Homo-oligomer: A and B are copies of this chain.
Amino acid sequence: MKLNLEEITKELKNKNIRLSHHRLKVLEFLNDNRIHPTVDQIYIQLHKELPTLSKTTVYNSLNALVDAGLVKVLTIEDNETRYDIVTDNHGHFKCESCGKIYDFEINLSSFQSKDLDDFKINNRDIYFKGICPDCIQQ
């Protein structure tokens, strides 16, 4: 999917966030590599292209993009924070054998619980864990 830069820049402007060169690179990386990467994965890859990039900037950029609502934090496990570009509703499945994270289509807004009638729900996350088909076969 191609990023619409003008639109993104306009959205960011409302929040006084500039789409700087590094931030754009981080956003592009997430858009082009749908692997739900960790900060380290992003840093290591981008550092090859941008030798002056610091890890602090990666954290910075990610936090800015999350604040802007363009990027989502995934906390499937307590010891690894991952990032995902915001797209339509989907859940995440993590394979307990190979560690790979899969997207799966699911209509999150259809989930209702009478216990939450009086709650304002801003965000719905679904995390499944188990074994992926590749690992089942072995």
Contacts and interface: CB of A to CB of B under 8 A. Distances in A.
A96 B115 contact: no
A24 interface: no
Contacts of A49: none
Given A75-B77, A120-B136, A125-B128, A105 B96 contact: no
Copies of the chain in the assembly: 2
A31 to B, nearest CB: 21
18 contacts: A75-B77, A104-B113, A104-B116, A105-B113, A105-B115, A106-B111, A111-B111, A111-B126, A120-B131, A120-B136, A121-B129, A122-B131, A123-B128, A123-B129, A123-B130, A124-B127, A125-B127, A126-B127
